[in-house]
């Protein structure tokens, strides 16, 4: 028969082993999270940056992020048509920022349409391209990458953007989801 003392000793050892296993599993989860970089940037920060960029661009006068002299064709009304934008963030500085208030610069892409009433997306005035948003000012500053008379677009991009973001800017624009959201919001604003 098993005595009461031997059962208590076995039970105590069992709890020790359970604690060791739980501690090992917890440590493994922490190591795996750090290895995949999940602690570097909260997923929420990316969403906050996208929302701030979009809001800033949509509230800015189109002249502030005007490209190549495009102007909205305004009808008889003096009311300015809304600007509807889609954005993509390539990165931000400082890279280790954990809150929106810590972010100084954002490197990204924007595609905006000026939503004049009953004007379909395909013929709307659009403003697009890589940009840098200076988040240290209020309102944030907008600097669009554009070619000049003496500097080609690609050279200007490499002058303004860090190398890793310049490479992304050459390869990627809006995601399919962001583009679909942009078109839906544009159609609503244009009364389509």
DSSP state letter for 38: T
What pLDDT is attached to residue 70?
41
What pLDDT is attached to residue 2?
58
- Taking residues 99-114, report their average pLDDT: 93
Alpha helix segments (H runs only) across the chain: 4-36, 43-59, 153-160, 163-171, 176-189
Model pTM score: 0.69
Tell me the per-residue pLDDT of 160-177, one tens digit each, with 9 for 90 and over: 999 999 999 988 889 999
What pLDDT is attached to residue 121?
93
How far apart CA 85 and CA 133 sit, in angstroms, is 14
Q: Quickly state the pLDDT bin for 19 (edges 50, 70, 90).
A: low
What pLDDT is attached to residue 31?
54
Backbone dihedral angles phi then psi of residue 178, each to the nearest 5 degrees: -65, -40
Tell me the per-residue pLDDT of 23-69, one tens digit each, with 9 for 90 and over: 565 656 555 555 544 444 445 899 999 999 999 999 987 655 544 44
What pLDDT is attached to residue 71?
46
């Amino acid at each position: 028969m098993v005595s009461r003392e031997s059962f208590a000793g076995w039970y105590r050892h069992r709890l020790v082993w359970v604690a060791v296993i739980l501690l090992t599993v917890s440590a493994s989860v922490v190591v795996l999270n750090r290895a995949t970089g999940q602690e570097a940037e909260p997923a929420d920060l990316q969403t906050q940056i996208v929302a701030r960029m979009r809001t800033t661009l949509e509230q800015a006068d189109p002249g502030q992020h005007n490209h190549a002299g495009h102007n909205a064709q305004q009808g008889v009304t003096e009311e300015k048509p809304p600007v509807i934008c889609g954005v993509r963030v390539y990165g931000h500085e400082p890279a280790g920022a954990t809150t929106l208030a810590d972010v100084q610069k954002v490197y990204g892409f924007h595609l905006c349409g000026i939503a004049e009433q009953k004007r379909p997306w395909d013929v709307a005035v659009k403003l697009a391209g890589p940009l840098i948003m200076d988040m240290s000012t209020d309102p944030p500053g907008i600097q669009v990458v554009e070619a000049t008379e003496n500097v080609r677009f690609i050279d200007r991009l490499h002058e303004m953007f860090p190398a890793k973001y310049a490479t992304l800017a050459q390869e990627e624009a809006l995601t399919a989801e962001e583009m679909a959201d942009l078109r839906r919001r544009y159609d609503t604003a244009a009364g389509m």
